[in-house]
Amino acid sequence: MPVWAYIVLSAALIAAFSLLMAYRRERQKELYRIDNLRNSRLYRDLQPLLQQAATRDLDQVRVERERITITRVYPAGTLWVFDLRKAGHHKMSRVRTRVMAEVIAEDLVVLQDRSKYSLTRYRVIRPNGSADYSYLYTIRTRYKDSIMAMHERLGHRIRI
């Protein structure tokens, strides 16, 4: 085997090892951020809303820097808003917004099921030209139709 092949192989191994170490370091940071958020006053203030939402059928869960908005499927249009400023908190940073979306998905287990909900990251352009990223969990049509059909069947049973 030529010398250049050993050099290329060594370089590939070094690159793979450095990528693995970088991944582990980022994962540790992410776990630290999640743990930090779970122990924060913001999360404790949000907890009653999440506990209430865990027992309901959700249409959308929107995590933005200023607020967290949850829309219910039934009755249609029921909206819960946790406004950070009104609750005595500052806007979340970009990283904290992303971490909050992850933590909410861990607490509301149904959001993790990709056959029921989709996650979308979208950009919000502010009047001053800065861009923020927000996260949106949206119910999939097939799952929403099944929920609405169930509520319709329950409504027919009650009327009889």
For the stretch 16-58, pLDDT in tens is 999 999 999 999 998 899 899 899 999 999 999 998 888 888 8
* 59-110: pLDDT as tens digits: 899 999 999 999 988 877 788 999 999 988 888 989 999 999 999 998 888 8
Q: Can you read off the two tokens belonging to residue 147? A: 């929920």
d(CA 24, CA 49): 33
What is the number of alpha carbons within 13 Å of residue 21 lying toward its C-beta? 6
Whether the pTM exceeds 0.85: the reply is no
d(CA 34, CA 145): 34
Q: Can you read off the two tokens belonging to residue 34? A: 């999640």
E-strand ranges in 19-130 read 58-63, 67-72, 79-83, 117-125
